[in-house]
Amino acid sequence: MSEPAPATDHPLSFLSRRRFLKVALAGGGVLLGTAGGGLALRGCAPDVDGLRLLDAQAYRTLSRLVEVMFPASALIPVDAQAFDLPRLFDGWLADEPEALQGDLKTALTLVEFGPILFEARLHTFSNLPPAERAAHWQGWGHSRLALRRQVSLGLRKFFNLVFFDRPEVWPHIGYPGPSLGVVSP
């Protein structure tokens, strides 16, 4: 039986995700150059001990991301920073295949320089004021650019899964926990 040509629903479907990331970052590099030194805008991140794969810059990007994703709230009064979710991400990524490690490290760099690349701001993600950082991150999920939505989706999936898997969160969402009780992983 013949198969009709599938309809493409986004213009860059011919690019693999890896190639897409590389192209985007290369383009971003040009923009950064003309912007006069994006790296200087990023500044130094504090040292972090015990990371398996990521560097302090990526750790700081993820920490800011966690603040945006799980803000202090009266609805769920849980301090997400106390869970050290960026370190969990680092541990998870360290056991993933090299190709994925490269993709995600690139994606984190893209998130960090997102305000410069996509909004022509003079701040990196970590250096944006918190309210503006939240608004900027919202833009990733709704972006017309598939790459930004893909990055948003991937990071959102990981952090949501591990955050809502925490017993400290369950009382606030009406979940009584596993029916046979909690078994430590």
**Residues in contact with another protein by the rule CB under 8 A:** 1, 3-4, 6-10, 13, 16-17, 68-71, 73, 75-76, 92, 95-99, 134, 137-138, 141-142, 146, 149-150, 152-154, 156-157, 160-165, 169-170, 172-175, 178-180, 182-183, 185
Q: How far apart are CB 156 and another protein at their closest, in Å? A: 7
Q: Which is nearer to another protein, 49 or 95 (CB)?
A: 95
Q: How far apart are CB 44 and another protein at their closest, in Å? A: 27
Q: Which is nearer to another protein, 58 or 85 (CB)?
A: 85
CA torsion angle 92 87 172 65 (round to 10): -100
Q: How far apart are CB 109 and another protein at their closest, in Å? A: 18
Q: Which is nearer to another protein, 43 or 172 (CB)?
A: 172
Query: What is the number of other CB atoms lying within 10 angstroms of the CB of residue 17?
Result: 17
Q: How far apart are CB 33 and another protein at their closest, in Å? A: 29
Find where tokens 């919202």 sit: 138
Mention every residue, 6+ apart, whose C-beta is less than 8 A from residue 59.
Answer: 45, 48, 51, 86, 87, 90
Q: Which is nearer to another protein, 34 or 184 (CB)?
A: 184
Distance separating alpha carbons of residues 41 and 145, to the nearest angstrom: 24
Q: Which is nearer to another protein, 81 or 138 (CB)?
A: 138
Q: How far apart are CB 174 and another protein at their closest, in Å? A: 3
Q: Which is nearer to another protein, 20 or 41 (CB)?
A: 20
Provide the b/e sequence for 50-69 (b: ≥16 CB within 10 Å): ebebbeebbbbbbbbbbbbb
Q: How far apart are CB 75 and another protein at their closest, in Å? A: 5
The runs of H, that is alpha helices, within the chain are 17-34, 38-42, 56-69, 85-94, 98-112, 114-119, 130-142, 146-163
